[in-house]
Amino acid sequence: MKTKRFLLAFALLALTLTAAVSKPKNKLYVYNWCYYTPMEVIKEFEEKFDCKVYLSYYESNEEMFSKFMCGATGYDIVVPSQDYASIMIKLGMLDKLDHSKIPNMKYINPDLQKKIDYDPNLDYGIPYYFGAAGISVNKKKVKDYPRDWSIFEKTELKNRMTMMDDMREVMGAALVHLGYDVNSVDEKQLEEARQLVGKKWKPNLAKFDAGSFGKAFATGDFLVCHGYVEVVAGELEPDEIEDTLDFFIPEEGGASYMDSLCIMKDAPHKELAHAFINFIQEPENYAKFLDYFQFPNYVNTEADKFRTTKPLYDAKAMENCTLKNDLGENLEKFNEYWEKVRFVD
């Protein structure tokens, strides 16, 4: 009996020691957008830094921001878009970065940095991804069309087109098409944009749609869709992408977005958070991120050397796009014109 007890105690001790040895020493809590974090890169980071990365997800900036405003704590890294990053900087929610711990920020595209007027020195965020919505056309069924925002004026495509259910995207497209700035809050310009969308574009749309347009494009129900190309491509077979899809961002430009890797002011693991940001921007690692989504690269100057997939569109197409800024108190004014488009026109 004593021998059995000794063996049992020895076995339990061995299990305890094994667990202690195998248990990661460090932890990192990352709060990111859904389906926006390649697990291959996460696993490699965990192995290199002997840590465990705990991922939590959100579906909108509003959801993320509301959670923090309600008192959520314990997160190390968050990935807000430019307008919410600006708000969070102003509210003192983000920690100032130690650039000496992020040497790979030398790979950030200087042309992109010029666009970041709310954080020009990248003191509070390192770009994660810069992208833009555009227009997907079923080139098998639609012929002879303009490659700009006026495509939504084509009456022969009535009820076979959609635009995003997003006021900044749609009104931004109209403002740009009229020769104005995406972030304009000038009432005369907003009224012109409202008239363009409400009187010339909306009558030809099946609906404003931010979620299901990819599936409907794949089935052939919709022939022209405004939105993110990865949503459409994700519903098509690889050979269909080449044969069916023509995606373009109008030369005149449009609204763009940029998500940044930021460290929370009260982050419990700031040293590891800096290491994570630096790891993501290692060109070989950033290339894996691009490959995972077939994104074009406008962020990291060296990553294209290591990628293995062809991007769904050329990054140069985004050069004329403008980041959607935080409009502050003027957001309500912007919303008033959008509400007229949605429910009056």
pLDDT tens figures, 287-308: 999 999 899 999 999 999 999 9
Beta carbons within 8 Å of 172's beta carbon, 6+ residues apart: 182, 183, 254, 255, 322, 324
Percent of residues, the chain, with pLDDT higher than 90: 85
pLDDT at 4: 37
Could you tell me the pTM of the whole model?
A: 0.84
What's the mean pLDDT in 142-157? 97
CA-CA distance, 178 to 170, in Å (whole number)? 13
Over the stretch 200-216, which tens digit does the pLDDT of each residue have?
999 999 999 988 999 99
According to the model, what pLDDT value does residue 264 have? 98
Query: Using CA atoms, how far apart are residues 65 and 79, in angstroms rounded to an integer?
Result: 11
Q: What is the pLDDT confidence band of residue 27, given thresholds at 50, 70 and 90?
A: very high
Distance CA 46, CA 27 (A): 9
Q: 11: pLDDT confidence band, cut at 50, 70 and 90?
A: very low
Range of lowest pLDDT (47-51, 153-157, 198-202, 330-334): 330-334
Confidence of residue 316 (pLDDT cuts 50, 70, 90): very high
State the Cα–Cα distance between residues 345 and 150, nearest whole angstrom. Answer: 18
Using the 8-state DSSP alphabet, how is residue 230 labeled? H
The HSE-up count of residue 284 (CA atoms within 13 Å, CB side) is 3
Instruction: Give the span between the Cα atoms of 281 and 287, in whole angstroms.
Output: 9
* Mean pLDDT across 61-73: 95
pLDDT at res. 24? 64
pLDDT of 12 over the 70 cut: no
- The position carrying tokens 């080449």 is 242
Distance CA 27, CA 48 (A): 13
Quickly tell me which residue has 């010029």 as its tokens.
114
Six-digit token string for 224: 């022209």
pLDDT in tens, 229-286: 989 998 999 889 999 999 999 999 999 999 999 999 999 999 999 999 999 999 999 9
- Tell me the two tokens of residue 230: 């990865």
